[in-house]
Amino acid sequence: MKIITKIYLSIGFILLVFVFVTVAYFIQSNKVDNAIDEVLLSTEIIQANSNLQKAVLDAQAGMRGYLLSGKENYVEPYYAGVAEYLIELNILRKLNQSKPANIGYLNQIDQQFNNWNDSIASPLIEAKRNVNAGPKAQQEYNRLYYKTYTREEGKTRIDRIRYFTDLIEKVETRNKKALVGKLKTSQNLTDLLSLGLTVLAVIIGIATALLLGKTIKKRILSMQKLASNLARGNFEMKLTDHDHDELSSLSADMNVMAQKLQNSFAHLKKMNQELDQFAYVVSHDLKAPLRAINNLAEWIDEDIGETTPEIRKNLSLMRGRVHRLENLINGILAYSRIGRTKIEQNTFDLRELLQEITESLAPLPNQKIIIPTEPLQIQTEKILLQQVLVNLISNGLKYNNKPNAEVSVSAELNGKNYLIRVADNGPGIPPEYHEKIFGVFQTIEARDTIESTGIGLAIVKKIIEEKHGAIRVDSEPGQGTTFSFTWPLSQPVVLAPI
């Protein structure tokens, strides 16, 4: 299975858990909302039932007050209680539409209240108003009063009303308590479910991430180890991966790359061995005939004695060509060996190195080499820097056409590099030759005019570039020449022996 598929499945599973959490929370929230609605309904029923009881008591109290005082203002609570009763009864019927038992109780309450009002309260009030109309009116009032209070018919009906209202209150109070408990349970269950599923999703996510991360990390570390081995030149290591995913393909590609590098390295090693063999042949087999030719020319020159100047000139020219060819061979060998073997670094004073170079070049009386007066410690391959400076300084003297030739060398630290300049007061170099002079076998003057192999500046540039430095030339005809090059503070380079 591909890694991206594993990641998608893991994310999908986590999302599925969160969806389940959301749905479960939604369902429980609906249950909580329904429970809250039922609690609020029971509360409203209890309140309306209490208001109904109060209305009945107000009606009863108003009737009694009027019967005792006979004053009309005392009967007003009766009428207000009857009106309030009708309002609260209507409210209770609406609130209890889904509760048949309560509707039955309300019907009983309404029946008892209507009987009390129609047969007791209303007739008594009317009889009280007409009590002074005559003996019959007084007799009727006494009958009704006796029926109400002596036989307690009024009290019986009021007690029945109170009984049913108490039933409604008890039922709704009990129902409210049950709903409140159910509500708390639902809330707790919702919180626990949400928390539990969320924690589960987080645990699954972390476990999946750790598992995938550990697997991927282990395989990536193996690839990193392979890359490190390749960087160190160990091409034998191979990766083993059977997961058949993107990293497996990458591992296979790295194995192929390692194999190709191993083959290329073996081929390069073989080519280097052949090049070393060629250098040995050139160094020993080609130089020997050249030395023999040179010795033979010297013997002929000694044996012929006095002869024409032209013959001596030709012999001298022949020896010069032999020396040039030998120098050319040495230059080619020096150029080819750059970058193939590590050279030990040394710490030395640049000023002392320039003094050694000055002594080895042995400038003529009209030639002057100016070196820095301040010491500058350098840690690098001394032989390479010496080869660069010897070529540049010797060129500055060799090609200088001034009566008093001068070559000055300066050096300074420039960031992570040494900036070294070699300037002369010679004839200068035309701009069109500024790049060509660094090519192999390139010279400005004819070789018969000034002895040169044309490979010195090519060696200089290659050494500097192997050190990851850069060289440039600033010159105009008649204004001298300045070679400026950078030399890293400490950067190893390799050089193959001849």
| pLDDT tens, the chain, 498 aa long | 666 676 777 778 777 877 877 787 778 778 778 878 888 898 999 999 999 999 999 998 998 888 888 888 888 999 999 999 999 999 999 999 999 999 999 999 999 999 989 888 888 888 888 877 778 888 888 887 777 766 677 788 889 999 999 999 999 999 888 888 887 887 787 778 778 877 887 887 788 778 777 777 777 787 788 788 777 777 777 777 766 667 777 777 777 887 787 787 777 777 766 666 666 666 666 666 767 777 777 777 776 766 667 776 777 777 666 665 666 566 556 555 565 566 778 899 999 999 999 998 888 999 999 999 888 888 888 888 998 999 999 999 988 888 899 999 999 988 889 999 999 999 999 998 888 888 766 565 544 445 556 678 888 998 899 888 999 999 999 889 999 999 998 654 444 443
pLDDT value of position 495: 43
Specify the pLDDT at position 300.
75
Q: What CATH number labels 343-495?
A: 3.30.565.10
Query: How many angstroms separate the CA atoms of 110 and 116, rounded?
Result: 10
CA distance 263 to 407: 49
Round to whole Å and give the CA distance between 384 and 490: 13
The pLDDT of residue 498 is 36
Residues of the chain with CATH 1.20.120.1730: 3-203
Angle ∠(62,68,69) on CA atoms, nearest 5? 90
Single pTM value for the model: 0.44
Distance CA 361, CA 389 (A): 11
Q: Tell me the pairing of strands 494-495 and 481-488.
A: unpaired
Cβ atoms of 153 and 120 closer than 8 Å: yes
Q: Which part of the chain is CATH 3.30.565.10? A: 343-495
CATH topology for 3-203 is Four Helix Bundle (Hemerythrin (Met), subunit A) (1.20.120)
